[in-house]
Structure 1
Amino acid sequence: MRLRLPAERPTEPPTGYKIAHPVLSQDGTRAGFTGVSLGGALPYAVLDDASCVYGLRHRPPVRRCDCGFHCVHDRAAAEALLCTTEHRSAVLLEVSVLGAYIRFERGFRYARQRVRSATAGPCGCGTAAVALADAGWGRPGWRVLAPCCGGCARGRTSVSLAGFARLAGQGLRVIAGSAGADRPFTELMSADELGVPELAAEAALLQARLDWFQSQLARLGEHGAGGGGQG
């Protein structure tokens, strides 16, 4: 006899976390998201129903299929995915799990979702994002966007965080994550904080740069002398 887990009947929708790429329609009138793994070719709206990525006519989620929206229980687990190279420009989503769902150890696979908030990380230059700009790739009919500061967004198709939330609708909140709150690992110390080891390292670096500069001058001088001898 097959044992079944008891059915859950929560009083309010469970909350989950995931990462995704924000997208803007080709005509600039609609906004949504596209996933980073299975189903990434199917952009979805803030409030949307899942469909089977294999084209089967069943309603997700089905136990013997991978279809449906996916999310994790823990926000930190979703944030950890943003550390990987291919996901650096993605945003962190907080979602409400709606409809039928299957609970796993680390998250849910489910039929319907509402994206409540999207947190955009810093621009590639390290400055806090004020807009979402064309990332240089996309899906048919959709431009993928990436968090961007005002300076780096110049000359690129872009939309402000508030503008993206307005286009997406359904009460979505788009938040800029902190960029300067955490001190970088290689932050320079002030002169008063430098000790003998730090000063020695700075001196070695300056000497190496001086040696390179002198070698470049010597090389240019040799070329100049040779060119003069040839008339």
Structure 2
Amino acid sequence: MRLRLPEERPTEPPTGYKIAHPVLSQDGTRAGFTGVSLGGALPYGVLADAACVYGLRHRAPHRRCDCGFHCVHDRTAAEALLCTAEHRAAVLLEVAVLGRFIRFERGFRYARQRVRTATVGPCACGTVAAALADAGWGRPGWRALAPSCAGCVRGRTSVSLAAFARLAGEGLRVVAGREGARKVADLGTSPDDLGVPELVAEAALLQARLDWFQTQLARLREPGAGGGGQG
């Protein structure tokens, strides 16, 4: 007699946590994520279906394969993955587990997901992130992004957290971590006010870009700048 795993039919989609790298399409019109391990070469959107990364024709997740989306039950376990050097620039995702899934001790392997919230960590300099900027690597047609403060954006391709959420669509929320919420409060604004944190981040990002352009213009106006010939 062949034993079968018990079937679950939850009334609401289970919640899981995972980490991923945010990505921006080459033309800047779409946003999504790419995984940090299996399937990392295939960027996905906020609402996405899994496929077998080995090219097999079975439906994901298959019991005899390791295909499908992966997540863990515990938020703390996902946050711990952000401590490793190669994952420092990744973001924490809260996802709804949809469709067929296989439950494990620490998480799920499943067929479909909706990313509800993306929590962005601090900039590499330690300051709370105001934007997601070009990380210097990517996938064909996609630029990987990393958290950046307003002062470190400079001339890199970047989008604010609110702009990334708009491009990704499907009701995605993109927020700075707890440290970011405290610093927004220090500015005299309440993080609970609708739209205020996003507007503050947008303003800081625009100011940083303006400062960078003014610096470049000042250099061009210096005597001998611009390569003009004499004579």
Aligned counterparts, 1:38-187, within 5 A: 38-179=38-179
The one-letter amino acid of 1:173's match is R
Q: 3-state DSSP class of the match of 1:123?
A: coil
- The equivalent of 2:196 in structure 1 is none
- Mapped to 2, the partners of 1:6 and 1:105 lie a distance apart of 14
The one-letter amino acid of 1:19's match is I
The one-letter amino acid of 2:21's match is H
> Are 2:21 and 2:91, in contact at CA under 8 Å, matched by a contact in 1?
yes
Aligned counterparts, 1:3-42, within 5 A: 3-42=3-42
- Mapped to 1, the partners of 2:27 and 2:177 lie a distance apart of 28
- The equivalent of 2:202 in structure 1 is none
- Mapped to 1, the partners of 2:131 and 2:102 lie a distance apart of 35
Please list every run of 5 or more consecutive structure 1 residues that lacks an aligned counterpart in the other structure: 183-231
The one-letter amino acid of 2:95's match is V
> Are 1:24 and 1:31, in contact at CA under 8 Å, matched by a contact in 2?
yes
- Mapped to 1, the partners of 2:92 and 2:36 lie a distance apart of 11
> Are 1:25 and 1:31, in contact at CA under 8 Å, matched by a contact in 2?
yes
Could you state the TM-score of these two structures normalised by the residue count of structure 1? 0.77
> Are 1:30 and 1:168, in contact at CA under 8 Å, matched by a contact in 2?
yes
The one-letter amino acid of 1:87's match is H
The one-letter amino acid of 1:156's match is R
- The equivalent of 2:190 in structure 1 is none
The one-letter amino acid of 1:105's match is E
Inter-CA distance 85–179: structure 2 relative to 1 (3 Å threshold): same
CA offset at residue 181 of structure 1?
Answer: 8.3
1:21-72 Cα shifts (integer Å, max 9, x gaps):
0000000000000000000000000000001110111110001111100000
CA offset at residue 179 of structure 1?
Answer: 3.5
The one-letter amino acid of 1:74's match is D
> Are 2:120 and 2:175, in contact at CA under 8 Å, matched by a contact in 1?
yes
> Are 1:93 and 1:119, in contact at CA under 8 Å, matched by a contact in 2?
yes
- The equivalent of 1:229 in structure 2 is none
Tell me the number of residue pairs that the alignment of Structure 1 and Structure 2 aligns: 182
> Are 1:118 and 1:174, in contact at CA under 8 Å, matched by a contact in 2?
yes
- The equivalent of 1:185 in structure 2 is none
- Mapped to 2, the partners of 1:68 and 1:55 lie a distance apart of 12
CA offset at residue 5 of structure 1?
Answer: 2.0
> Are 1:122 and 1:178, in contact at CA under 8 Å, matched by a contact in 2?
no
- Mapped to 1, the partners of 2:172 and 2:36 lie a distance apart of 20
Q: 3-state DSSP class of the match of 2:178?
A: coil
- Mapped to 2, the partners of 1:169 and 1:67 lie a distance apart of 26
Aligned counterparts, 1:184-223, within 5 A: none
> Are 2:52 and 2:67, in contact at CA under 8 Å, matched by a contact in 1?
yes
> Are 2:129 and 2:180, in contact at CA under 8 Å, matched by a contact in 1?
no
- Mapped to 2, the partners of 1:119 and 1:12 lie a distance apart of 23
Q: 3-state DSSP class of the match of 2:154?
A: coil
Please list every run of 5 or more consecutive structure 2 residues that lacks an aligned counterpart in the other structure: 183-231
Identity %: 85
Higher CA-based Rg: 1
The one-letter amino acid of 1:52's match is C
Could you state the TM-score of these two structures normalised by the residue count of structure 2? 0.77
CA offset at residue 6 of structure 1?
Answer: 1.5
1:156-195 Cα shifts (integer Å, max 9, x gaps):
000000000000000000000133789xxxxxxxxxxxxx
